[in-house]
Amino acid sequence: MLEVPMADKPRVRMLTIYLYIPNIIGYLRVLMNCLAFALCFSHKGLFVILYFTSFVCDALDGWFARKFNQVSTLGAVLDMVTDRISTACLLVILSQIYRPGLIFLSLLALDIASHWLQMYSTFLSGKASHKDVRDSTNWLFKLYYRNRMFMAYCCVSCEVLYIILFLLARRQNEDIIDVLMTSGKQSLPLCFILVLVLFGWAIKQTVNVIQMKTAADVCVLYDINMKQKP
C-alpha cells in the first residue's frame, strides 16, 4: 500500500473537502442557474424547471451534509452565495419587466445587505453559523431560524412569487399591481396561491429587516467593546 507523503497530505484533505457530496451539489446548482438565466427569455418553461430544481437542491445539500457528516465552511459559503446571486439575478430581470422597477432593486439590496451583515456579525461574535440566533430577543427572528418548516415556507414563498411574476409578464413596463389584480381575478386557484406566497414573502422581508438591524447592533457593540479595552 502506497503511503501519501506528508507534504501532500494537506492537499489530499483539501481535495476531499472540495469533493464532498454537498459541495458537488453546490457546483451543479451554479451550472443549473447559469444555464437557466442563459435561456430565461427564449425558454421560460425550461428556465423555471432549472431555477426551481437548483432551489430544491439547496435543501438536499444540507441533508447530505448532515447525513454523511460533510459539513464544511466552503459548503456554507457556496450555498449562501449561490442563493443570493440567483435571487438577485431574477430580481434584476423583474426590475426590467415591471414598473416601478425600484421595488425589485430595493428587495435585492435588502436581501444582500441583511445576509452580508448577518454573516459578518456572526464572524465578530465567534459563532459557527449565521443561523445561531439563540441570544436574539426578537421572537419572529428566532422562529424563522429555529423552525425549518417555517423558514422553508417563507423562502419557497419568495421564490415562487418571483417565478410567478416572471411567467405572468407579457411585455416590458407592466404595472405590477395591475398584473397581480388581473391575474387573481381571472383564476381562483392562482389567487389563492398568490395570497399564500405573498404572506410568506412579507414575513421573509420583515425578517430581513430585523436581521439587518440585529446584525448592525452586533457590529456597533463590537466597536464599543473594542474601544473600552485598555
Active site residues: 83
H, E, C per residue of 12-30: HHHHHHHCCHHHHHHHHHH
Q: How far apart are CA 191 and CA 202, in angstroms?
A: 16
Q: How far apart are CA 105 and CA 118, in angstroms?
A: 20
What does the buried/exposed string (b/e) look like for 69-86 if buried means 16 or more CB atoms within 10 Å of the residue's CB? Answer: ebebeebbebbbebbeeb
Residue 27 CA from chain centroid, whole number? 16
Q: How far apart are CA 93 and CA 113, in angstroms?
A: 19
